Structure 1
Amino acid sequence: MNSPFHLPAGKALGGPYAVDVSPETAGWGFADLRVLELPPGGSHTFDTDESEWIVLPLSGGCTVTAVDEFGRDTFRLDGRDSVFAAVTDFAYVPRDARTTVTSAGGGRFALTGARCTRRLPARHGPASGVPVELRGTGNCSRQVNNFGAAARAGGADGHGFECDRLIAVEVITPGGNWSSFPPHKHDEHRPGEESVLEEIYYFEFEAHDGTPGLGYQRVSPSGRGRGTDVLAEVRDKDVVLVPDGWHGPSMAVPGHHMYYLNVMAGPEPERAWLIRDHPDHAWIRDTWPDRPVDPRLPLYTAPERP
Protein backbone atom coordinates (compact mmCIF):
# COMPACT_ATOMS: atom_id res chain seq x y z
CA MET A 1 0.00 0.00 0.00
CA ASN A 2 1.53 3.32 -1.10
CA SER A 3 0.80 6.14 1.30
CA PRO A 4 1.84 9.79 1.46
CA PHE A 5 2.40 9.23 5.17
CA HIS A 6 5.23 6.69 4.57
CA LEU A 7 8.47 8.40 3.54
CA PRO A 8 11.09 5.81 2.50
CA ALA A 9 14.75 6.65 3.17
CA GLY A 10 15.78 9.61 1.03
CA LYS A 11 12.27 10.88 0.35
CA ALA A 12 12.33 13.33 3.27
CA LEU A 13 15.66 14.93 2.28
CA GLY A 14 15.78 18.67 2.82
CA GLY A 15 18.77 20.98 2.46
CA PRO A 16 21.58 19.75 4.72
CA TYR A 17 19.35 17.14 6.40
CA ALA A 18 18.98 13.44 5.57
CA VAL A 19 15.48 13.76 7.07
CA ASP A 20 13.61 17.06 7.26
CA VAL A 21 10.00 16.88 8.46
CA SER A 22 8.50 20.22 9.43
CA PRO A 23 4.97 21.40 10.13
CA GLU A 24 4.97 22.83 6.60
CA THR A 25 6.04 19.62 4.85
CA ALA A 26 3.85 17.41 7.05
CA GLY A 27 0.81 19.68 6.75
CA TRP A 28 0.29 20.05 10.49
CA GLY A 29 1.03 22.55 13.24
CA PHE A 30 3.72 21.50 15.70
CA ALA A 31 6.05 18.48 15.34
CA ASP A 32 9.52 18.65 13.69
CA LEU A 33 12.23 16.09 12.98
CA ARG A 34 15.58 16.57 11.28
CA VAL A 35 18.42 14.08 10.96
CA LEU A 36 21.83 15.68 10.51
CA GLU A 37 24.79 13.66 9.19
CA LEU A 38 28.20 15.24 9.84
CA PRO A 39 31.63 14.11 8.60
CA PRO A 40 34.61 14.15 10.98
CA GLY A 41 35.23 17.77 11.89
CA GLY A 42 31.85 18.77 10.46
CA SER A 43 29.68 21.57 11.78
CA HIS A 44 26.16 22.86 11.15
CA THR A 45 24.40 25.99 12.39
CA PHE A 46 20.65 26.56 12.42
CA ASP A 47 18.18 28.98 13.96
CA THR A 48 15.64 27.41 16.28
CA ASP A 49 13.07 30.09 15.33
CA GLU A 50 9.66 29.32 16.90
CA SER A 51 10.57 25.77 17.97
CA GLU A 52 12.26 24.12 20.93
CA TRP A 53 14.69 21.30 20.07
CA ILE A 54 16.45 18.33 21.60
CA VAL A 55 19.72 17.35 19.92
CA LEU A 56 19.99 13.56 20.27
CA PRO A 57 23.05 11.63 19.02
CA LEU A 58 22.08 8.54 17.01
CA SER A 59 25.73 7.65 16.42
CA GLY A 60 28.83 9.59 17.40
CA GLY A 61 29.30 12.50 19.75
CA CYS A 62 29.16 16.26 19.31
CA THR A 63 29.30 19.68 20.89
CA VAL A 64 26.15 21.81 20.94
CA THR A 65 26.27 25.59 21.36
CA ALA A 66 23.16 27.76 21.70
CA VAL A 67 23.35 31.56 21.60
CA ASP A 68 20.46 33.94 22.23
CA GLU A 69 19.76 37.26 23.92
CA PHE A 70 20.15 35.59 27.33
CA GLY A 71 23.67 34.29 26.75
CA ARG A 72 25.67 31.38 25.38
CA ASP A 73 25.46 27.73 26.47
CA THR A 74 27.77 24.94 25.32
CA PHE A 75 27.27 21.23 25.98
CA ARG A 76 29.54 18.33 25.11
CA LEU A 77 27.59 15.18 24.22
CA ASP A 78 29.48 11.89 24.55
CA GLY A 79 26.89 10.19 22.33
CA ARG A 80 27.11 6.48 21.47
CA ASP A 81 28.21 4.05 18.78
CA SER A 82 24.64 3.30 17.66
CA VAL A 83 21.06 3.33 18.88
CA PHE A 84 21.44 -0.39 19.71
CA ALA A 85 24.54 0.15 21.87
CA ALA A 86 23.68 2.56 24.70
CA VAL A 87 21.54 5.30 26.14
CA THR A 88 22.84 8.71 25.09
CA ASP A 89 23.07 12.12 26.66
CA PHE A 90 21.37 14.99 24.83
CA ALA A 91 20.97 18.76 24.77
CA TYR A 92 17.83 20.89 24.95
CA VAL A 93 17.98 24.22 23.11
CA PRO A 94 15.27 26.88 23.35
CA ARG A 95 13.33 28.77 20.71
CA ASP A 96 14.82 31.94 19.22
CA ALA A 97 18.42 30.78 19.49
CA ARG A 98 21.24 30.23 17.01
CA THR A 99 22.49 26.67 17.53
CA THR A 100 25.66 25.02 16.25
CA VAL A 101 26.33 21.26 16.24
CA THR A 102 29.99 20.29 15.77
CA SER A 103 31.38 16.74 15.69
CA ALA A 104 35.11 15.97 15.83
CA GLY A 105 34.58 12.31 14.93
CA GLY A 106 31.49 12.70 12.75
CA GLY A 107 28.13 11.09 13.31
CA ARG A 108 24.38 11.19 12.86
CA PHE A 109 22.23 13.41 15.05
CA ALA A 110 18.46 13.70 15.44
CA LEU A 111 17.01 17.15 15.98
CA THR A 112 13.59 16.61 17.55
CA GLY A 113 11.52 19.76 17.68
CA ALA A 114 8.15 21.33 18.36
CA ARG A 115 6.61 24.73 17.75
CA CYS A 116 6.20 26.33 21.16
CA THR A 117 5.37 29.54 23.00
CA ARG A 118 7.53 29.41 26.13
CA ARG A 119 11.28 29.89 26.17
CA LEU A 120 12.88 27.40 28.57
CA PRO A 121 16.58 27.41 29.45
CA ALA A 122 19.14 25.42 27.47
CA ARG A 123 20.11 22.24 29.35
CA HIS A 124 22.25 19.12 29.16
CA GLY A 125 20.39 15.83 29.68
CA PRO A 126 22.81 13.20 31.05
CA ALA A 127 22.48 9.60 29.90
CA SER A 128 22.37 8.57 33.56
CA GLY A 129 19.12 10.50 33.98
CA VAL A 130 17.23 8.77 31.16
CA PRO A 131 14.60 6.35 32.53
CA VAL A 132 14.77 3.03 30.67
CA GLU A 133 11.36 1.36 30.78
CA LEU A 134 10.41 -2.19 29.82
CA ARG A 135 6.87 -2.08 28.44
CA GLY A 136 4.69 -5.08 27.69
CA THR A 137 5.59 -8.77 28.10
CA GLY A 138 6.02 -11.84 25.91
CA ASN A 139 6.21 -10.98 22.22
CA CYS A 140 4.84 -7.53 23.01
CA SER A 141 7.97 -6.70 25.04
CA ARG A 142 9.88 -3.56 24.09
CA GLN A 143 12.33 -1.11 25.64
CA VAL A 144 11.51 2.58 25.90
CA ASN A 145 14.20 5.19 26.53
CA ASN A 146 12.19 8.07 28.00
CA PHE A 147 14.66 10.90 27.37
CA GLY A 148 11.98 13.45 26.47
CA ALA A 149 8.85 11.85 27.89
CA ALA A 150 5.91 13.60 29.52
CA ALA A 151 3.24 12.63 32.00
CA ARG A 152 1.06 9.67 31.04
CA ALA A 153 -2.56 8.89 31.78
CA GLY A 154 -3.11 8.98 35.52
CA GLY A 155 -0.61 11.78 36.13
CA ALA A 156 3.13 12.18 36.35
CA ASP A 157 5.07 8.93 36.45
CA GLY A 158 8.61 10.13 37.07
CA HIS A 159 9.53 10.00 33.37
CA GLY A 160 9.07 13.69 32.65
CA PHE A 161 11.60 16.06 31.07
CA GLU A 162 10.52 19.69 30.99
CA CYS A 163 9.66 21.03 27.56
CA ASP A 164 6.91 23.37 26.46
CA ARG A 165 5.33 21.16 23.76
CA LEU A 166 7.86 18.53 22.70
CA ILE A 167 7.51 14.86 23.68
CA ALA A 168 10.11 12.39 22.38
CA VAL A 169 11.12 8.81 23.25
CA GLU A 170 13.11 5.95 21.74
CA VAL A 171 11.63 2.45 21.38
CA ILE A 172 13.62 -0.74 20.75
CA THR A 173 11.65 -3.79 19.66
CA PRO A 174 13.53 -7.12 19.64
CA GLY A 175 13.42 -9.12 16.41
CA GLY A 176 10.13 -11.01 16.11
CA ASN A 177 8.26 -8.78 18.58
CA TRP A 178 5.42 -6.30 18.19
CA SER A 179 5.34 -2.82 19.70
CA SER A 180 2.87 0.07 19.51
CA PHE A 181 0.40 -2.62 20.46
CA PRO A 182 -2.43 -2.59 21.29
CA PRO A 183 -3.09 0.02 18.59
CA HIS A 184 -3.83 3.38 20.15
CA LYS A 185 -4.60 6.93 19.15
CA HIS A 186 -4.27 10.50 20.39
CA ASP A 187 -6.23 12.59 17.90
CA GLU A 188 -9.15 13.78 20.02
CA HIS A 189 -9.37 16.18 22.95
CA ARG A 190 -10.93 14.23 25.81
CA PRO A 191 -9.89 15.88 29.10
CA GLY A 192 -7.97 13.50 31.34
CA GLU A 193 -8.32 10.64 28.85
CA GLU A 194 -6.87 11.54 25.44
CA SER A 195 -4.77 14.39 24.08
CA VAL A 196 -4.24 15.65 20.54
CA LEU A 197 -0.68 14.88 19.39
CA GLU A 198 0.93 14.75 15.97
CA GLU A 199 3.55 11.98 15.79
CA ILE A 200 6.60 11.07 13.73
CA TYR A 201 8.23 7.61 13.61
CA TYR A 202 11.87 7.44 12.45
CA PHE A 203 13.20 3.88 12.01
CA GLU A 204 16.58 2.17 12.20
CA PHE A 205 17.28 -1.58 12.09
CA GLU A 206 20.08 -3.78 13.37
CA ALA A 207 21.73 -5.66 10.52
CA HIS A 208 22.70 -9.34 10.75
CA ASP A 209 25.87 -10.49 8.96
CA GLY A 210 25.58 -7.47 6.72
CA THR A 211 21.94 -8.13 5.84
CA PRO A 212 19.74 -5.09 6.56
CA GLY A 213 16.64 -5.47 8.70
CA LEU A 214 13.07 -4.44 8.08
CA GLY A 215 9.71 -4.24 9.75
CA TYR A 216 6.08 -3.32 9.21
CA GLN A 217 4.03 -0.36 10.40
CA ARG A 218 0.25 -0.04 10.48
CA VAL A 219 -1.83 3.10 10.92
CA SER A 220 -5.59 2.75 10.43
CA PRO A 221 -8.30 5.43 10.21
CA SER A 222 -10.04 6.46 13.42
CA GLY A 223 -12.74 8.48 11.73
CA ARG A 224 -11.04 11.76 12.52
CA GLY A 225 -8.65 14.12 10.76
CA ARG A 226 -7.22 12.97 7.43
CA GLY A 227 -8.25 9.34 7.71
CA THR A 228 -4.61 8.27 7.84
CA ASP A 229 -4.16 4.76 6.39
CA VAL A 230 -0.69 3.15 6.27
CA LEU A 231 0.45 -0.43 5.80
CA ALA A 232 4.15 -0.06 5.10
CA GLU A 233 7.25 -2.20 4.90
CA VAL A 234 9.70 0.04 6.75
CA ARG A 235 13.47 -0.08 6.43
CA ASP A 236 16.50 1.77 7.79
CA LYS A 237 15.95 5.53 7.97
CA ASP A 238 12.31 5.43 6.82
CA VAL A 239 9.79 7.85 8.32
CA VAL A 240 6.07 7.40 9.01
CA LEU A 241 3.84 10.40 9.77
CA VAL A 242 0.85 9.98 12.09
CA PRO A 243 -1.37 13.08 12.06
CA ASP A 244 -4.30 10.98 13.35
CA GLY A 245 -5.56 7.40 13.48
CA TRP A 246 -4.97 4.16 15.34
CA HIS A 247 -1.23 3.46 15.14
CA GLY A 248 0.22 0.03 15.65
CA PRO A 249 1.41 -2.53 15.53
CA SER A 250 5.06 -1.86 14.71
CA MET A 251 6.46 -5.30 13.84
CA ALA A 252 10.13 -6.29 13.80
CA VAL A 253 11.03 -9.26 11.59
CA PRO A 254 12.87 -12.12 13.37
CA GLY A 255 16.63 -11.70 13.58
CA HIS A 256 16.68 -7.91 13.40
CA HIS A 257 16.05 -5.54 16.29
CA MET A 258 13.99 -2.49 15.35
CA TYR A 259 14.50 1.04 16.67
CA TYR A 260 12.18 3.96 16.24
CA LEU A 261 12.34 7.51 17.48
CA ASN A 262 8.93 8.98 18.31
CA VAL A 263 8.47 12.76 18.15
CA MET A 264 5.14 14.17 19.33
CA ALA A 265 3.64 17.62 19.79
CA GLY A 266 0.23 19.21 19.64
CA PRO A 267 -2.05 22.06 20.64
CA GLU A 268 -3.05 20.81 24.10
CA PRO A 269 -2.40 23.31 26.93
CA GLU A 270 -1.10 20.44 29.10
CA ARG A 271 1.94 18.57 27.79
CA ALA A 272 0.84 15.00 28.43
CA TRP A 273 0.79 11.65 26.62
CA LEU A 274 -2.84 10.59 26.96
CA ILE A 275 -3.90 7.75 24.67
CA ARG A 276 -6.94 5.61 23.90
CA ASP A 277 -6.42 1.93 23.07
CA HIS A 278 -8.32 0.43 20.14
CA PRO A 279 -11.43 -1.18 21.68
CA ASP A 280 -10.95 -4.42 19.71
CA HIS A 281 -7.46 -4.99 21.10
CA ALA A 282 -7.31 -3.24 24.48
CA TRP A 283 -7.74 -6.59 26.27
CA ILE A 284 -4.18 -7.58 25.37
CA ARG A 285 -2.83 -5.40 28.19
CA ASP A 286 -4.65 -7.60 30.70
CA THR A 287 -2.55 -10.59 29.60
CA TRP A 288 0.81 -8.96 30.29
CA PRO A 289 1.03 -9.61 34.06
CA ASP A 290 0.82 -13.38 33.43
CA ARG A 291 3.75 -13.50 31.00
CA PRO A 292 7.48 -12.79 31.47
CA VAL A 293 9.30 -9.92 29.79
CA ASP A 294 11.38 -10.97 26.79
CA PRO A 295 14.74 -12.06 28.33
CA ARG A 296 16.62 -10.18 25.61
CA LEU A 297 15.57 -6.95 27.29
CA PRO A 298 16.88 -4.57 28.29
CA LEU A 299 19.43 -4.37 25.50
CA TYR A 300 21.20 -1.90 27.79
CA THR A 301 20.48 0.28 30.79
CA ALA A 302 21.31 3.86 31.61
CA PRO A 303 24.76 4.33 33.18
CA GLU A 304 24.95 4.98 36.89
CA ARG A 305 24.97 8.60 37.98
CA PRO A 306 28.50 9.85 38.68
Structure 2
Amino acid sequence: MTTSEQLHLPAGSTGRGNYETIIDPGAREGWVHTGLRVLALAPGGSEVVTANGVEAMVVPLNGACDVAVGGEDHHLRGREDVFASATDVLYVPVGSQLTISSKDGGRFALATAVATGSHPVALIRAEDVPVEIRGGGNMTRKVRNFGTVGAFDQMDSLIACEVITPGGNWSSYPAHKHDETVDDGDHQESELEEIYYYEIQDGPSGPGFGFHQTTSSGEDKPIDVLSEVRTGDTVLVPHGWHGPCAAAPGHDMYYLNVMAGPDPVRAWNITDHPDQTWVRGTWESAGIDPRLEGEAR
Protein backbone atom coordinates (compact mmCIF):
# COMPACT_ATOMS: atom_id res chain seq x y z
CA MET A 1 0.00 0.00 0.00
CA THR A 2 1.40 3.39 -1.04
CA THR A 3 0.74 5.89 1.74
CA SER A 4 0.62 9.61 2.47
CA GLU A 5 4.08 9.46 4.02
CA GLN A 6 5.55 8.31 0.71
CA LEU A 7 3.67 10.63 -1.65
CA HIS A 8 2.95 13.79 0.38
CA LEU A 9 6.20 15.79 0.34
CA PRO A 10 6.03 18.68 2.85
CA ALA A 11 7.43 22.09 1.95
CA GLY A 12 11.22 22.11 1.99
CA SER A 13 11.60 18.35 2.44
CA THR A 14 13.11 17.77 -1.02
CA GLY A 15 14.98 21.05 -1.53
CA ARG A 16 18.65 21.94 -1.64
CA GLY A 17 20.65 24.98 -2.64
CA ASN A 18 18.45 27.54 -4.35
CA TYR A 19 15.68 24.97 -4.82
CA GLU A 20 12.81 24.69 -2.35
CA THR A 21 11.49 21.59 -4.13
CA ILE A 22 13.24 19.02 -6.30
CA ILE A 23 11.32 16.16 -7.92
CA ASP A 24 13.12 14.67 -10.90
CA PRO A 25 11.84 11.85 -13.11
CA GLY A 26 13.64 8.63 -12.34
CA ALA A 27 15.08 9.90 -9.04
CA ARG A 28 12.65 7.95 -6.83
CA GLU A 29 11.30 4.43 -7.12
CA GLY A 30 8.23 4.20 -9.32
CA TRP A 31 8.41 7.82 -10.50
CA VAL A 32 9.31 7.90 -14.18
CA HIS A 33 7.86 10.64 -16.38
CA THR A 34 7.41 13.99 -14.62
CA GLY A 35 9.38 16.47 -12.55
CA LEU A 36 9.10 19.76 -10.70
CA ARG A 37 11.66 22.16 -9.31
CA VAL A 38 10.83 25.33 -7.40
CA LEU A 39 13.69 27.81 -7.66
CA ALA A 40 14.00 30.68 -5.15
CA LEU A 41 16.21 33.57 -6.25
CA ALA A 42 17.36 36.48 -4.13
CA PRO A 43 17.39 39.94 -5.78
CA GLY A 44 20.02 39.88 -8.49
CA GLY A 45 20.32 36.10 -8.29
CA SER A 46 20.61 33.65 -11.16
CA GLU A 47 20.67 29.90 -11.79
CA VAL A 48 21.93 27.84 -14.72
CA VAL A 49 19.65 24.90 -15.53
CA THR A 50 20.27 22.08 -18.00
CA ALA A 51 17.18 20.20 -19.19
CA ASN A 52 18.85 16.80 -19.50
CA GLY A 53 16.37 14.39 -21.09
CA VAL A 54 13.40 16.61 -20.27
CA GLU A 55 11.40 19.44 -21.76
CA ALA A 56 10.31 22.18 -19.38
CA MET A 57 8.03 25.10 -18.73
CA VAL A 58 9.25 28.00 -16.58
CA VAL A 59 6.31 29.27 -14.50
CA PRO A 60 6.86 32.32 -12.25
CA LEU A 61 5.10 31.83 -8.90
CA ASN A 62 5.95 35.30 -7.64
CA GLY A 63 8.25 37.87 -9.16
CA ALA A 64 9.56 38.43 -12.68
CA CYS A 65 12.56 36.82 -14.33
CA ASP A 66 14.69 36.79 -17.44
CA VAL A 67 15.52 33.51 -19.15
CA ALA A 68 18.44 33.20 -21.53
CA VAL A 69 18.20 30.13 -23.76
CA GLY A 70 19.40 29.28 -27.27
CA GLY A 71 21.15 32.63 -27.67
CA GLU A 72 17.99 34.64 -26.94
CA ASP A 73 16.70 36.46 -23.87
CA HIS A 74 13.08 36.27 -22.76
CA HIS A 75 11.49 38.46 -20.09
CA LEU A 76 8.73 36.84 -18.05
CA ARG A 77 6.73 39.61 -16.39
CA GLY A 78 5.62 37.34 -13.56
CA ARG A 79 3.08 38.33 -10.90
CA GLU A 80 2.73 39.34 -7.28
CA ASP A 81 1.62 35.84 -6.29
CA VAL A 82 -0.21 32.84 -7.77
CA PHE A 83 -3.63 34.20 -6.74
CA ALA A 84 -3.19 37.58 -8.45
CA SER A 85 -3.30 36.56 -12.11
CA ALA A 86 -2.05 34.25 -14.80
CA THR A 87 1.62 34.68 -15.71
CA ASP A 88 3.95 34.63 -18.68
CA VAL A 89 5.30 31.10 -19.20
CA LEU A 90 8.30 29.93 -21.21
CA TYR A 91 8.56 26.53 -22.90
CA VAL A 92 12.07 25.14 -23.50
CA PRO A 93 12.82 21.92 -25.41
CA VAL A 94 14.69 18.84 -24.28
CA GLY A 95 18.42 19.33 -23.79
CA SER A 96 18.26 23.11 -23.41
CA GLN A 97 20.62 25.04 -21.18
CA LEU A 98 18.98 28.09 -19.69
CA THR A 99 19.96 30.81 -17.26
CA ILE A 100 17.17 32.15 -15.06
CA SER A 101 17.87 35.51 -13.41
CA SER A 102 15.72 37.93 -11.43
CA LYS A 103 16.44 41.58 -10.72
CA ASP A 104 14.08 41.78 -7.74
CA GLY A 105 14.06 38.12 -6.75
CA GLY A 106 11.21 35.63 -6.74
CA ARG A 107 10.19 32.00 -6.93
CA PHE A 108 9.96 30.11 -10.21
CA ALA A 109 8.59 26.64 -10.94
CA LEU A 110 10.15 24.42 -13.60
CA ALA A 111 7.61 21.82 -14.70
CA THR A 112 9.35 19.01 -16.59
CA ALA A 113 8.60 15.79 -18.45
CA VAL A 114 10.78 13.17 -20.10
CA ALA A 115 10.94 13.93 -23.82
CA THR A 116 12.71 12.89 -26.99
CA GLY A 117 11.27 15.18 -29.67
CA SER A 118 12.51 18.76 -29.87
CA HIS A 119 10.26 21.80 -30.34
CA PRO A 120 10.97 25.54 -30.57
CA VAL A 121 11.34 27.75 -27.51
CA ALA A 122 7.98 29.47 -26.98
CA LEU A 123 6.96 32.42 -24.82
CA ILE A 124 3.29 32.36 -23.79
CA ARG A 125 2.07 35.72 -22.53
CA ALA A 126 -0.30 35.88 -19.56
CA GLU A 127 -3.03 37.55 -21.63
CA ASP A 128 -2.95 34.62 -24.07
CA VAL A 129 -3.44 31.91 -21.41
CA PRO A 130 -6.94 30.37 -21.77
CA VAL A 131 -8.81 30.61 -18.47
CA GLU A 132 -11.60 28.09 -17.88
CA ILE A 133 -14.24 28.16 -15.16
CA ARG A 134 -15.03 24.58 -14.24
CA GLY A 135 -17.77 23.19 -11.98
CA GLY A 136 -20.58 25.00 -10.22
CA GLY A 137 -21.67 26.13 -6.78
CA ASN A 138 -19.12 25.15 -4.14
CA MET A 139 -17.35 23.02 -6.75
CA THR A 140 -16.44 26.05 -8.92
CA ARG A 141 -12.76 26.55 -9.68
CA LYS A 142 -10.60 28.43 -12.17
CA VAL A 143 -8.17 26.63 -14.49
CA ARG A 144 -5.34 28.42 -16.30
CA ASN A 145 -4.61 26.20 -19.29
CA PHE A 146 -1.19 27.44 -20.38
CA GLY A 147 0.17 23.95 -21.14
CA THR A 148 -2.81 21.64 -21.65
CA VAL A 149 -3.74 19.61 -24.71
CA GLY A 150 -5.41 21.92 -27.21
CA ALA A 151 -4.17 25.08 -25.52
CA PHE A 152 -0.45 24.61 -26.29
CA ASP A 153 0.63 21.56 -28.25
CA GLN A 154 4.14 22.37 -29.47
CA MET A 155 5.78 19.98 -27.03
CA ASP A 156 6.51 16.28 -26.74
CA SER A 157 4.81 14.90 -23.63
CA LEU A 158 4.40 17.59 -20.94
CA ILE A 159 0.92 18.67 -19.81
CA ALA A 160 0.65 21.49 -17.27
CA CYS A 161 -1.92 23.87 -15.84
CA GLU A 162 -2.74 25.69 -12.62
CA VAL A 163 -5.99 25.72 -10.65
CA ILE A 164 -7.43 28.28 -8.23
CA THR A 165 -10.06 26.92 -5.81
CA PRO A 166 -11.81 29.60 -3.71
CA GLY A 167 -11.87 29.03 0.03
CA GLY A 168 -14.58 26.55 1.04
CA ASN A 169 -14.80 25.00 -2.43
CA TRP A 170 -13.89 21.54 -3.70
CA SER A 171 -11.91 20.78 -6.86
CA SER A 172 -10.56 17.69 -8.61
CA TYR A 173 -14.13 16.57 -8.00
CA PRO A 174 -15.53 14.19 -9.04
CA ALA A 175 -12.44 12.17 -8.21
CA HIS A 176 -10.94 10.80 -11.41
CA LYS A 177 -8.09 8.70 -12.69
CA HIS A 178 -5.74 8.40 -15.65
CA ASP A 179 -3.60 5.38 -14.84
CA GLU A 180 -4.20 3.10 -17.82
CA THR A 181 -4.51 3.44 -21.58
CA VAL A 182 -8.08 2.79 -22.75
CA ASP A 183 -9.54 3.32 -26.21
CA ASP A 184 -12.57 1.14 -26.76
CA GLY A 185 -14.46 3.52 -29.03
CA ASP A 186 -16.87 4.69 -26.34
CA HIS A 187 -14.29 5.75 -23.78
CA GLN A 188 -10.70 6.93 -23.77
CA GLU A 189 -8.27 7.16 -20.88
CA SER A 190 -4.60 8.16 -20.87
CA GLU A 191 -1.86 6.79 -18.63
CA LEU A 192 -0.34 9.80 -16.84
CA GLU A 193 1.62 10.48 -13.69
CA GLU A 194 0.58 13.72 -11.97
CA ILE A 195 2.19 16.20 -9.60
CA TYR A 196 0.15 18.56 -7.42
CA TYR A 197 2.18 21.50 -6.08
CA TYR A 198 0.20 23.57 -3.55
CA GLU A 199 0.10 27.14 -2.31
CA ILE A 200 -2.62 28.18 0.14
CA GLN A 201 -3.65 31.77 0.86
CA ASP A 202 -2.94 32.89 4.41
CA GLY A 203 -5.71 34.03 6.73
CA PRO A 204 -5.69 37.10 8.99
CA SER A 205 -4.11 35.20 11.86
CA GLY A 206 -2.12 32.36 10.33
CA PRO A 207 -1.28 30.14 7.37
CA GLY A 208 -3.96 28.47 5.29
CA PHE A 209 -4.52 24.79 4.62
CA GLY A 210 -6.51 22.36 2.52
CA PHE A 211 -6.85 18.62 1.92
CA HIS A 212 -5.84 16.22 -0.85
CA GLN A 213 -7.07 12.65 -1.34
CA THR A 214 -5.92 9.78 -3.58
CA THR A 215 -7.42 6.27 -3.34
CA SER A 216 -6.95 2.91 -5.05
CA SER A 217 -8.41 2.36 -8.51
CA GLY A 218 -7.95 -1.42 -8.35
CA GLU A 219 -6.51 -4.22 -6.26
CA ASP A 220 -3.30 -4.02 -8.28
CA LYS A 221 -2.95 -0.26 -7.60
CA PRO A 222 -3.20 0.08 -3.80
CA ILE A 223 -2.84 3.68 -2.62
CA ASP A 224 -4.17 5.62 0.36
CA VAL A 225 -3.43 9.34 0.66
CA LEU A 226 -5.44 11.80 2.73
CA SER A 227 -3.24 14.75 3.62
CA GLU A 228 -3.54 18.24 4.99
CA VAL A 229 -1.62 20.42 2.53
CA ARG A 230 -0.02 23.80 3.05
CA THR A 231 2.01 26.24 0.96
CA GLY A 232 5.00 24.54 -0.66
CA ASP A 233 3.68 20.99 -0.22
CA THR A 234 3.72 18.55 -3.13
CA VAL A 235 1.62 15.43 -3.61
CA LEU A 236 2.61 12.78 -6.16
CA VAL A 237 -0.10 10.77 -7.93
CA PRO A 238 1.45 7.71 -9.62
CA HIS A 239 -2.01 6.11 -10.08
CA GLY A 240 -5.43 5.93 -8.45
CA TRP A 241 -8.53 8.04 -8.02
CA HIS A 242 -7.34 11.53 -7.09
CA GLY A 243 -9.62 14.12 -5.54
CA PRO A 244 -11.35 15.78 -4.05
CA CYS A 245 -9.04 18.63 -3.16
CA ALA A 246 -10.75 20.83 -0.56
CA ALA A 247 -9.84 24.43 0.27
CA ALA A 248 -10.53 25.37 3.89
CA PRO A 249 -13.06 28.23 4.21
CA GLY A 250 -11.25 31.56 4.16
CA HIS A 251 -8.19 30.16 2.39
CA ASP A 252 -8.04 30.10 -1.41
CA MET A 253 -6.11 27.12 -2.76
CA TYR A 254 -3.67 27.05 -5.70
CA TYR A 255 -2.16 23.99 -7.27
CA LEU A 256 0.15 23.51 -10.23
CA ASN A 257 -0.47 20.24 -12.07
CA VAL A 258 2.31 18.53 -14.04
CA MET A 259 1.47 15.42 -16.08
CA ALA A 260 3.13 13.05 -18.54
CA GLY A 261 3.08 9.36 -19.33
CA PRO A 262 4.34 6.57 -21.57
CA ASP A 263 1.73 6.80 -24.33
CA PRO A 264 3.20 7.80 -27.71
CA VAL A 265 0.44 10.37 -28.28
CA ARG A 266 0.18 13.30 -25.87
CA ALA A 267 -3.39 13.17 -24.54
CA TRP A 268 -5.32 13.96 -21.36
CA ASN A 269 -8.29 11.61 -21.08
CA ILE A 270 -9.76 10.80 -17.68
CA THR A 271 -12.26 8.44 -16.07
CA ASP A 272 -14.57 9.76 -13.35
CA HIS A 273 -15.03 7.81 -10.13
CA PRO A 274 -18.36 6.01 -10.75
CA ASP A 275 -19.71 6.96 -7.30
CA GLN A 276 -19.09 10.67 -7.89
CA THR A 277 -19.62 11.44 -11.56
CA TRP A 278 -23.24 12.42 -10.86
CA VAL A 279 -22.10 15.74 -9.39
CA ARG A 280 -21.37 17.03 -12.89
CA GLY A 281 -25.13 17.11 -13.45
CA THR A 282 -25.56 19.59 -10.60
CA TRP A 283 -23.19 22.27 -11.84
CA GLU A 284 -25.46 24.10 -14.26
CA SER A 285 -28.30 24.56 -11.78
CA ALA A 286 -25.86 25.54 -9.00
CA GLY A 287 -24.39 28.33 -11.13
CA ILE A 288 -20.88 29.77 -11.00
CA ASP A 289 -19.49 30.82 -7.65
CA PRO A 290 -19.85 34.63 -7.82
CA ARG A 291 -16.22 35.03 -6.76
CA LEU A 292 -15.23 33.64 -10.17
CA GLU A 293 -17.86 35.17 -12.43
CA GLY A 294 -16.37 36.91 -15.45
CA GLU A 295 -12.99 35.15 -15.09
CA ALA A 296 -13.16 32.91 -18.19
CA ARG A 297 -11.45 33.88 -21.42
After TM superposition, the score normalised by the length of structure 1 is 0.91
1:51 is aligned to 54
The normalised TM-score by structure 2 is 0.94
Equivalent of residue 228 in structure 2, options 227, 233, 240: 233
The structure-2 alpha-carbon separation of the partners of 1:263 and 1:203, relative to structure 1 and needing over 3 Å to count, comes to same
How far apart are the structure 1 equivalents of 2:174 and 2:209? 20
CA-CA distance at 1:43 after TM superposition: 0.1
User: What RMSD in Å do the two structures reach over aligned CA positions?
Assistant: 1.6
Could you list the runs of 5+ residues in structure 2 that have no partner in the other structure? none
Q: 1:21 aligns with which of 23, 28, 32?
A: 23
Which of 277, 282, 288 is residue 277 of structure 2 equivalent to? 282
Q: Are 1:37 and 2:40 an aligned pair? A: yes
Shift in Å at residue 14 of structure 1?
3.7
In 2, Cα distance between the equivalents of 1:17 and 1:224?
37
Letter in 1 for 2:40: E
Alignment check: 8 A CA contact 2:86 2:144 kept: yes
Residues 1:189 and 2:181 aligned together: yes
8 Å CA contact 2:212–2:226 kept in 1: the answer is yes
Report the Cα distance in structure 2 between the residues aligned to 1:299 and 1:8, rounded to whole angstroms: 34
Task: Give, in angstroms, the shift of residue 46 of structure 1.
Answer: 1.2
1:3 maps to 5
Amino acid at match of 1:13: G
Say if 1:2 and 1:119 are closer, same or farther in 2 by CA, change over 3 A.
Answer: closer
Is residue 2:268 matched to residue 1:273?
yes
Equivalent residue for 1:155?
none
Q: Give the superposition deviation at 1:10.
A: 1.3
Percent identity between the two aligned chains: 49
Alpha carbons of structure 1 residues 280 and 267: separation in structure 2 relative to 1, 3 Å: same
Distance 1:300 1:106 in 2: 28
Q: Could you say if the C-alpha distance between residues 297 and 120 of structure 1 is closer, same or farther in structure 2, counting changes exceeding 3 Å? A: same
Displacement, 1:16?
Answer: 3.1
Q: How does 1:1-306 map to 2 (within 5 A)?
A: 2-26=4-28, 27-67=30-70, 72-151=71-150, 159-191=151-183, 193-223=188-218, 226-297=221-292
Distance 1:82 1:276, change over 3 A: same
2:66 and 2:74 in contact (8 A); partners too? yes
Assess if the C-alpha contact under 8 Å between 2:133 and 2:296 holds in 1: no
| TM superposition shift of 1:15 | 4.2
